[in-house]
Copies of this chain bind each other. A is one copy, B any other.
Amino acid sequence: MKLSLAFSMIAVAGAFAPAQNGRSSTELHSGVTRNPNFAKLAGGYLFPEIGRRRTAYLAENPDMADRIISLGIGDTTQPIPEHILSGLVGSASKLGTKEGYSGYGAEQGMGDLRAKIAEKLYDGNIKADEVFVSDGAKCDIMRVQQVFGPGVTTAVQDPSYPVYVDTSVMMGQTGDINSETSQYDNIVYMPCTAENNFFPDIENLPRADIVYFCSPNNPTGAAATREQLEMLVKVCKERGSILVFDAAYAPFIRSEGVPKSIFEIDGAREVAIECNSFSKYAGFTGVRLGWTVVPDELTFSDGTKVRDDFNRVMTTAFNGASNIVQGGGLACLDDEGLTEINTLIDYYLENAKLLKEAMESIGYDVFGGADAPYVFVKLPDGKKSWDTFSEILEKTQVVTIPGAGFGPGGEGYLRLSAFAPRDTVIEACERLKKAMA
């Protein structure tokens, strides 16, 4: 014991100076310094902020509560179809039996689910042990960031899903935010607007270590073509960048020839990670199931496989997706499940079409909404996103999302989500046409 204690003292000598530490003078606060990366974060996370503004509006206008229609956060609304539901209920029920009970599973997911994802969704381009099953794409993006650490530089589409930038800031990869541009130092913002058909001029932008790319895109609804993705993979490969491809909206792609996975592109196995999710496939936003593909060929500059470090995060800092939920995932990938998913997606795509038509009839330029559940509306020159969000909320009680919430490049745009019951979408279209025309 004495010896062991002595070792501890030696091991930390120099690293600690107990006399200088201790409770701060006021005795009100701990002596632990706040992580400076958190101080850099501008405002709260976008979606809770939308909720806050909606709540504030209702506090002032309580009689409007019944009239609120949310086309804001991309949250599924349709019940889970029968076959998929039977997968969830069945795997819950069997936990009550001696034979069916299971405890900890592999942190990377059940073997049969990993194999089924590889087989049914990747057409043989991916092996089962390259698939890591998780509780969702958002959570996986943080785990991917954990692998990369604070030393990398990052590029994002602008506008984009806020999680890429926010987690980069949290990890310490960025500098401070520039109050004029609303951009963080050390992040390459890749403008994606109507002017460039929502695909960045990547060759003429600075290199970054990690390139986040979401297609079909949230919020713009743009689905990159095969030629565009080939260019993306080529540039990443030439520059030695790692591409983190977010394919969470892939099942909405109906246009012929548009790739649903980055691994349909030659050479992607050497440059890309793909994050994906059952959230939008099967209405699993609250159920929580996703996956990330890390191909065997993807390496860091020293030759270490990215997959090995990702596996270390999955096993050390995660404990597997719920066994009940993974049973639902298996059902999703049965033929009956895949048919049910298609029916669900058809429903939301029809909503998107209605929203697109309504906004066009008002006279706006409208993008997305064809291979994606998001309709991206260009506001008339000079109109600000947050102002229009407020104006629409006040005039029509429809909750939208300001494009500026997805990055400075989204200023002057508004995102409408097709995730809503049909009758409310029709009602929202009527109100918008009446109030905004």
Contact = CB atoms under 8 A, between A and B. Distances in A.
Interface of A: 1, 4-5, 7-9, 11-12, 15-16, 18, 21-24, 28-39, 41, 44-45, 47-48, 73, 75-82, 85, 88-89, 92-93, 95-98, 100-105, 107, 135-136, 138-139, 141-142, 146-153, 158, 162-163, 166-167, 170, 172, 175, 178, 181, 183-191, 193, 195-196, 201, 204-210, 237-242, 270-271, 283, 285-288, 298-304, 306, 309, 312-313, 315-325, 408-409, 419
Contacts of A302: 29, 33-34
Contacts of A101: 77-80, 283
Given A8-B183, A22-B207, A30 B242 contact: yes
Given A207-B22, A286-B320, A96 B79 contact: yes
Given A8-B158, A32-B242, A79-B96, 6 more contacts: A12-B185, A15-B175, A29-B302, A30-B300, A79-B101, A81-B96
Contact of A172 (B150, B189, B205): B150
A239 B104 contact: no
A93 to B, nearest CB: 5
A181 B7 contact: yes
B85 A96 contact: yes
A164 B319 CA distance: 15
B29 A288 contact: no
B167 A23 contact: no
Contact of A24 (B175, B187, B240): B240
